[in-house]
Structure formats: structure tokens, C-alpha cells
Amino acid sequence: MADHQYPETATRLGASPILSIAHGAVAPAMKLPAAHSHPEPLLMGTATATVTVTAGDRDWLVPPGYGLWIPGNVEHSGEILRRGEGFTLVFAADRSPIDWPEPTGVIVGPLLRELIDHLQRIEHNDPTRPAAESLLFALLRPASSHDLRLIMPTDPRIRPIAEQLVADPADDRGVDAWAAEVHVGARTLSRLFAAETGLPFARWRTYARVHAAIGLLVGGDPVGAVARAVGYRKTSAFIAAFSRVTGHTPGTYRDANRPESNQTLNRNSTTSPSAMT
């Protein structure tokens, strides 16, 4: 998915380390390329869409406010779960200053999105391009693993539940209601979630809500509004759940688009069993 053309024409950037930039609206109905690879590394991300990308041997969930770096020659494909705005940058294999050997998640804050828009608008010889590209690469820092990891089940009986909860994290239906929705027993549903994700259903849903919340917080949304958007009636309950999962308060993420904030997040992060597969 990551290198498909959006409705807007991709911009070719000459001798820049960035070969092309494409952005625009994506929706579940769009046909995406089958699994493929190419020598050029790329960065794909979203402002408001939610997508899954299979890269190497993992399924990565990429919600609003996140991006995924895919190294050259790594096979990848994707699926759009929720419509919105997305982008893709393709880099020259021999000129990119980023050399991460594995697919790597990044937080995409407002400043990074503005830089991408700016670089697409200007000519390849624009005098502002070197400084803008330098800042863009400085902002591309790996997100801590617990920010981005949410295991998506593959069993066809429960995969639709996970996708619906990713698209609407405020959905408050419990195990019994979901079991009736997909015509399986509640005990079977619980067993499948634990087997496929390593987490009980309720805990997996908490991770999904926190995962969605980070993207909103990075975009600058108030903590109370984010809490309601992901299904919490009380802000205090949201803050407690968020802190248990990430080791940080929600406010830590509101400035995550600043390079110094990203450094602090990565330096202070602790290992978490959650999973952006």
C-alpha cells in the first residue's frame, strides 16, 4: 500500500534524497498493490486515516498521527481500515540519511506533516528545500515500541471485531455483545483473543484505545476531548489507563512532534507487552 499513488499526482524531486511525495484521500474501497518490494525505502503515514501494513513478517497498525518506515527490499502490502488523509515518501536507496534496517514506527506530528506538504509544493531547486529536508529527517525518530505495537488477530471470526474497534475505539460493547455480533460463543471469543493477541479482550481494547489516543494527542487535541473520543466518560479513568499502558501521562504526547520531545519519550520509555504488529 505504502507506495501507491494517491488521487493527487506524486511530485518527483530530482536529485533530492526524496524521490517522490504523494498524499491525498484514501478509503477502504481503494485497490492497493499486492505484496511487493523494491530497492527504495519509503515512509508512509496518515493524518486522519487508519491502515494496516504487512511488512516483513509483521502486521503494522498505523492510525492517525503515525507513520511507518519500510526499508528497501522489504516486501510489503496494506489495507485501509478507515478513510482519511494519508501520505507516502519514497527515498533514494543510495542517498537517504535514514538507514534503519527493519520496519520502524514513527510519530507524525503537525510539524512533520507541514514539512511534507511544503516539500511537495516547492520546486526541487527551491532555496528552502535543504533546510526543510534536514528538519524532516531530524524529526524522523523511532517511536517507542509501546506507542506503536497493537497485535491484530488474524482469525476471521475475531478480525472484524478488532478492525471495528480500531475504527471506532469508543465502541463500548462487551464480550457477550460482540460474540452475538459474529455468531460465536463468548467463551470462544475470549479464548481466540487471548490466543491470537496474548491479551484478554478487555485489555486488548484498552491498548487499542490508548493507541488511538496517542495519535489524537500528538495532533494537539485536549486530553478531555481525547478521553471521550476513545470511550472514556471520565478523564481521570482515561489518564489512569493511559499511564498504565505507556508509562507516561497523556500530556507528554501533545508535544511529541518536537525533536526534543521525541528524544525524551524514547529515552524514558519502558518495555511493554502490547503490540503495533
Reading the block at residue 7, the C-alpha cell is 488521487
Amino acid at position 146, single letter: H
Residue 69 confidence (pLDDT): 94
Cα separations in angstroms, 128 against 121, 154, 225, 271: 11, 46, 36, 39
Question: pLDDT digit string (tens) for 99-155?
Answer: 899 998 888 888 999 999 999 999 888 999 999 999 999 999 887 655 556 788 889
| For residue 9, pLDDT beyond 70 | no
End-to-end CA distance of the chain: 16
Kindly state the average pLDDT of the residues 27-53. Answer: 87
| For residue 81, pLDDT beyond 80 | no
SS3 sequence, the chain?
CCCCCCCCCCEECCCCCEEEEEEEEECCCCCCCCCECCCCCEEEEECCCEEEEEECCEEEEECCCEEEEECCCCCEEEEEEECEEEEEEEECCCCCCCCCCCCEEEECCHHHHHHHHHHHHCCCCCCCHHHHHHHHHHHCCECCHHHHCCCCCCCCCCHHHHHHHHHCCCCCCCHHHHHHHHCCCHHHHHHHHHHHHCCCHHHHHHHHHHHHHHHHHHCCCCHHHHHHHCCCCCHHHHHHHHHHHHCCCHHHHCCCCCHHHHHHHHHHCCCCCCCCC
The confidence band for 14, taking pLDDT boundaries of 50, 70 and 90, is low
Q: What pTM was computed for the model? A: 0.63
Cα separations in angstroms, 92 against 20, 24, 38, 40: 9, 22, 11, 6
Question: pLDDT digit string (tens) for 225-275?
Answer: 999 999 999 999 999 999 888 777 888 776 544 444 443 333 333 222 222
Nearest Cα neighbor of 170 from 72, 247, 118, 238 is 238
Q: Which residue has the higher pLDDT, 83 or 5?
A: 83
Residue 13 confidence (pLDDT): 56
The confidence band for 195, taking pLDDT boundaries of 50, 70 and 90, is very high
Q: Quote the mean pLDDT of the chain.
A: 82
